[in-house]
Each structure stands twice: as structure tokens, then as C-alpha cells.
Amino acid sequence: MPKKFSQRADDLRRALAQEAARVMAQQGIGDFLQAKRKAAERLGVDDAAVLPKNTEIEAALRDYQRLFGGQSHDQMLKEQRRTALQAMQMLREFQPRLVGPVLTGTATHHSDINLHVFAEPAESVALKLMDIGVQHEMLERRVRMDAERTLNYPALRFESQDWVIDATVFPVDGIRQSPYSPVDGRPMKRADAREVLDLLDESS
């Protein structure tokens, strides 16, 4: 590949990553593929070979939030993590773990607070919420467990402190294997309540 063409492709990939990051931050799109398609449409790109990787978009999103979010983004992230910690304490019998953008620091105002909880039967989490008077919605989540397996798990959505909590319910032994991250295809990072508290202390 000629050097000039390679540089042009790199520049275009970088521009697409930046536009996809802007779309995710401003429009509340959490799906990387959808953000890529919107960015490609906006920039008039139809060559899939120059589409950025999810990790490149995540890096561009961090840059966008640092440039345009500043202290307001930091404050929002603290609020989301405090709300996550409160929800985790409420559901502590199910060994909750924080995952996703609120943990990694790339959350936007549109992001849900994603938890993994572990229970058998799964309905016991819904019963807990009913017992304490928390209105919730039951859903199903399709989760990629490894390169070959994608499984369906129940999930619950409820509101807390003006944020939406989305909790996927795994079997009790599911705590041993984290599903694949949609960002980099590696086991998803999980944080327990102590680790979330440490993050809050670090940001104070």
C-alpha cells in the first residue's frame, strides 16, 4: 500500500473514530456499530476497511469528554458511581458488580448504570426489589460469554436518583467468568462495592 494512501486511510479512520465518539456523547448511542455507521454516513464513507475499532472509538470518546466535558463530566461520573454504590448496597446479598461505561469512566448523560448480580433463582432479585418497594421492569439480555457462546440472561431495570440501573442476573457461579466486553472482546472488567468506593475516594 502506498505511503500516501496509508496515511489518508489512517486520517480517515481517526476522523471516523472522533465522529463516532461525538455521536455517542451527544446522541446517547451506546452501540459502537451503530455509532460507526452514523459516523460513516455523516462523512460519506462507504469503505468498511477504514472503519475504526471499538477501542479507537472508546479512546476518542475519552478525549472528547476530557476536552468538552471537563469538571461537569467528572461530577456526573461521581453521581453515577455514587448511585451505583447505593444500588449495590441495596442488592448486596446478590454480590453485585459494576460494569460498563460508568466503571471505565466513559459514561455519558445517556448511559445506564450497568450491574451484574448473581442469584438462583433469578426471580429472587425481582422479589427483593418488590419487597423494598422498587418498581422495575423485567427484560432479557443477550450476553457473549466467549468467542463461541452467546447466552440469554434475565435483567431488571429500575430508577434510582434520576439514573437508570440495568442489572443482568447471572447464576451464582457466573461470578467466576466475566462475559466478553463489546469494546475489546476481552473479559469484561467488574468492580465490587469496595472497588467502587475506592474510585469515589480517588476522585474526591
* 34 is a domain residue: yes
> Does residue 77 share a domain with residue 170?
yes
The answer to whether residues 90 and 177 belong to one domain is yes
Residues 198 and 98 in one domain: yes
Residues 93 and 172 in one domain: yes
Average pLDDT of the segment spanning 89-94: 97
Percent of the chain with pLDDT over 90: 77
Domain-located, residue 36: yes
Judged by DSSP in three states, 118 sits in strand
Gap between the Cα atoms of 77 and 65, Å rounded: 11
Residues 48 and 85 in one domain: no
Q: In which residue are the cell numbers 446479598 written?
A: 93
Q: What is the CATH number of the domain that holds 159?
A: 3.30.460.10
Owning domain of residue 194? 72-203
Does 86 lie in the same domain as 16? no
In a domain, 161, yes or no: yes
Kindly report the three-state secondary structure assignment for every residue of 153-196: EEEEEEEECCEEEEEEEECHHHHHCCCECCCCCCECCCECHHHH
CB 143 within 8 A of CB 197: no
Residue 62 lies in a domain: no
Give the pLDDT confidence of 8-51 residue by residue, as tens digits: 888 899 999 999 999 999 888 888 999 999 999 999 988 888 89
Distance separating alpha carbons of residues 23 and 44, to the nearest angstrom: 15
Domain count, the chain: 2
Query: Does 23 share its domain with 83?
Result: no
Same domain? For 191 and 163 the reply is: yes
Task: Give per-residue pLDDT as tens, 146-198.
Answer: 888 999 999 999 999 999 999 999 999 999 999 999 899 999 999 999 999 99
**CA distances (Å), origin 168, targets 21, 123, 127, 154:** 26, 12, 15, 6
Question: Would you say residue 59 lies in a domain?
Answer: no
Residues 168 and 108 in one domain: yes
Start-to-end Cα distance in the chain? 49
Residue 57 included in any domain: no
d(CA 27, CA 67): 17
* pTM listed for this prediction: 0.88
Average pLDDT over residues 133-146: 94
pLDDT for the residue numbered 1: 47
Q: Please, are residues 152 and 100 in contact by the beta-carbon 8 Å criterion?
A: no
